[in-house]
Amino acid sequence: MDRSRVDKGVTSVSLDDTYRDILNLGAIFDVNRRATALVDKMKAQIAAVRQKVAGLKPVTVFDYDSGNSSPVTGPGLAMPTPIIQAAGGINIFASLKKTWSNVSWEQVVKAQPQCIISNDYGTPTAAQKLKFLRTFPATRNVPAVKNNCVLPVAYDEVVPGVRNVDAVVALAKLLRPAAFGRPSRIS
């Protein structure tokens, strides 16, 4: 099942889309100052992360939303892509110009992602997804799984919203721990 959808004319997605939504909501509810302050704070947090990971080789990342027989991912026109980019990574499906979409395990394995973000909502849980990745023959030897570089990310962190910053910060710390004073787990 392909759950992809794209509005005509949409060719990219960025954190600017989230900022614009917040500012629009601020205008609708007559809280422009609060919305502007929130966007400014979010931009500053993202800028701080980008500064820490600047110049480092990007880490390849797979966004695992759901699915066992065929994984659903957030490719090029879904919010995980700019989140991954801001954190110092490259979404292995960034060139797929769709939103949430099915891919194949063969494509995932071929890309050999160094890290995985696991969208955590409902069932299966992120823990159940991780168990699947560790036991599924196709994925158990993928670098991200072998090195335990898997980050559960709440659903509201991977769709446009104020928690996108939380996902960027958490992912950057996983991808580039040395930039945050922690030992590396990526080999």
Q: Is residue 72 within 8 Å of 2, Cβ to Cβ?
A: no
pLDDT at 186 (0 to 100)? 60
Q: Evaluate whether the domain defined by 15-180 bears CATH number 3.40.50.1980.
A: yes
pLDDT tens per residue across span 18-43: 999 999 999 999 999 999 999 999 99
Q: Is the pLDDT of residue 87 over 70?
A: yes
pLDDT at 4 (0 to 100)? 47
- Domain positions in the chain: 15-180
Buried b (16+ CB within 10 A) or exposed e, 74-100: bbbbbbbbbbbbbbbbbbbbbebbbbb
pLDDT at 187 (0 to 100)? 53
Q: How far apart are CA 71 and CA 102, in angstroms?
A: 6
Q: Is the pLDDT of residue 2 over 60?
A: no
What is the average pLDDT across 176-180? 92
Q: Which amino acid makes up residue 47?
A: A
pLDDT at 8 (0 to 100)? 66
pLDDT at 10 (0 to 100)? 76
What is the average pLDDT across 85-92? 98
pLDDT at 79 (0 to 100)? 97
Its pTM stands at 0.92
The three-class DSSP label of residue 63 is: strand
pLDDT tens per residue across span 95-141: 999 999 999 999 999 999 999 999 999 989 999 999 999 999 999 99
Which residue has better confidence, 1 or 157? Answer: 157
pLDDT at 182 (0 to 100)? 84
Q: Is the pLDDT of residue 69 over 80?
A: yes
Q: What is the mean pLDDT of the chain?
A: 93
Q: How far apart are CA 182 and CA 166, in angstroms?
A: 18
